[in-house]
Every structure is written in structure tokens, then in C-alpha cells.
Amino acid sequence: MAGPRVSRPSPVGRRPARPKPTPPKLVDLARWLWIGSALVGLGRFLFQLADRGMLIDMLREDQQRNGVTMSQDEVDAAVSGGILMGLLMGALLVLVYAVLANRVAGGRNWARIVLTVFGAVGIVVGVTRLILVASGLAAAMKLQVATPDLVFGTITMVLDAAAIVLMYLPSVSGYFRSQRSVADKTPRVANGL
């Protein structure tokens, strides 16, 4: 037999949690663009890690430069360890982007600034890479840039740029101002009232 529900009073000094605000549609879209950009970046990274032969060749070249010799078993173990570490780092990076993007959707201005810096750096690096390839300087400097790498990089740049623009539109700037944290505690006076 169920009795009436008894509500428990909140602990002393705590206020009930405020409901989370619903982000504007453009901020929510920016959140999903950031997460999508991180996933595309992970796809790019997975594409690079999938070329085991290239990784072995790079390791062999490094060995020759440094005068180190390794057996084939040691090379295979080093490449496998590198791939595993790369997968873990890629997953961690997606997680960081997802957390920051969700903080942006919660109205946190600091997360908006961090993602803006990350995105701006990515865009600058991507544009530089495109200029180097288009001008022929990459080939002159003996840098190998695969076509899929350029495609993934371009998609990531477009997603980052769109997300940055959406986060700073005048129609959503008020959302970030209204979410600034204010002390939840009521100021106490000297006599404790």
C-alpha cells in the first residue's frame, strides 16, 4: 500500500538546482558541428593509422637517421603500440571536444573561447597546408600530403569555421551573457541574518 509522497527538504545551505536553459538553435547547431568536426578529424586520423606500411617505413627512416637498428618484431610491436596510443589519443580528443561543445550549449563563455582558439588554430594550419600544396611548395619541401588528408582537413576547416560563426552571431551573444555564473549563496551579514 503506497502512502503519500513525502518530499525531503533540501540540505541546509543548498538551493534546489536550477533547470538547465535550452540553448538557442544556432548554439545547439554549433555544438553538433564541433562534435562532427571532431569525428571527421578522428576519421582522418584513423585513415592515417590504417596505413601500417607507411608507419613502418617512417619508423625505418627514423632508425636510419638515428643509427638505431631494430628487429622486425620490435618494429611491429612499436607500430602496434603507436597505433593503440593513437586510437586512445583520438578518442580522448573527441571526448574533449564533446565536453567543450556541451559546455558551450550550456552557455559557458569560457568553453566558447577555448573552442574558438582550437578552431582558429585548425583553420590556420589547414589553410597553410592547402596553400603549400596548391603552390607546389609542399612537393619542393618533400612533404607528402595525401588527397584524402586534404579532403578530411578541408571538411574539418569548414565545420570549425561554421561553428565559430554560429557561436558569435549577435542573436546568440545574449545567451552567453545571461549564463554567467553568479554566486548562488545569499550574502550573510555580521549578525548571521
Any domain includes 147? yes
| pLDDT, average across residues 166-175 | 91
Nearest C-alpha neighbor of 101 from the set 187, 179, 29: 29
Any domain includes 79? yes
Residue 49 has pLDDT above 90, yes or no: no
Residue 180 has pLDDT above 60, yes or no: no
Q: Into how many domains does the chain fold?
A: 1
Any domain includes 18? no
Residues of the chain with pLDDT > 70, as a percent, come to 81
Any domain includes 158? yes
Any domain includes 151? yes
* pLDDT tens-digit series, residues 143-156: 777 888 899 999 99
Residues of the chain with pLDDT > 90, as a percent, come to 44
To the nearest 10°, the Cα dihedral for 136, 138, 141, 144?
-130
Any domain includes 40? yes
Residue 42 has pLDDT above 80, yes or no: yes
Could you tell me the three cell numbers for 100?
567543450
Residue 34 has pLDDT above 80, yes or no: yes
Domain boundaries, position 111: 25-178
Residue 118 has pLDDT above 90, yes or no: yes
Nearest C-alpha neighbor of 158 from the set 122, 113, 112: 122
pTM of the model: 0.76
| pLDDT, average across residues 116-120 | 97
Any domain includes 9? no
What was the pLDDT predicted at 183?
44
Distance from the first to the final alpha carbon of the chain: 43
What was the pLDDT predicted at 184?
47
| pLDDT, average across residues 55-66 | 83
Any domain includes 172? yes
- Residue 163's identity, in one-letter code, is A
